[in-house]
Amino acid sequence: MEAKHQKWLYDVKVSIMEIEGFLEEHGKTFETYRSNLLLKKAIERNLEIIGEAVNRITREYPEIKIENARSIIGLRNFIIHSYDNITDETIWAIIINHLPKLKTEVLALLDSAH
């Protein structure tokens, strides 16, 4: 795997770890997330980074398969272009249901690169 792949995968990993860290620090509850504007914006920014990194990987290296890549990229576009339609429930569901799976997948891809 080339250095660019690894860097983008690493960016995804770091963004997921930052989201996890933010939630550990502030409390991993929906109500905490919903009521903390700074926390919401920090998480949304990291989701944007994840989406952009996955977009670059799939565009330049289609042989690297990331499950739900289109949905991840779509979320990035949704956050950026339809920011006024984002619901707390949607982002929270992604954090709880999808980020752990993506983390496992990215860690495996990074491990296989060594």
Q: Per residue of the chain (114 residues), what is the pLDDT tens digit?
A: 478 889 999 999 999 999 999 999 999 999 999 999 999 999 999 999 999 999 999 999 999 999 999 999 999 999 999 888 999 999 999 999 999 999 999 999 999 876
At residue 4, the pLDDT reads 85
Q: Is the distance from CB of 68 to CB of 98 less than 8 angstroms?
A: yes
C-alpha 35, offset from chain centre: 21
Domain extent at residue 9: 3-112
Distance CA 86, CA 105 (A): 26
Dist. CA 113–CA 45, nearest whole Å: 27
Instruction: State residue 5's pLDDT score.
Output: 85
Whether pTM exceeds 0.75? yes
Which amino acid is it at 85? N
Domain count, the chain: 1
Reported in sequence order, the residue ranges of the chain that DSSP labels E, i.e. its strands, are none
**Are 77 and 50 in contact, with CB atoms under 8 Å apart?**
no
Query: In whole angstroms, how far apart are CA 43 and each of 36, 60, 114?
Result: 11, 26, 29
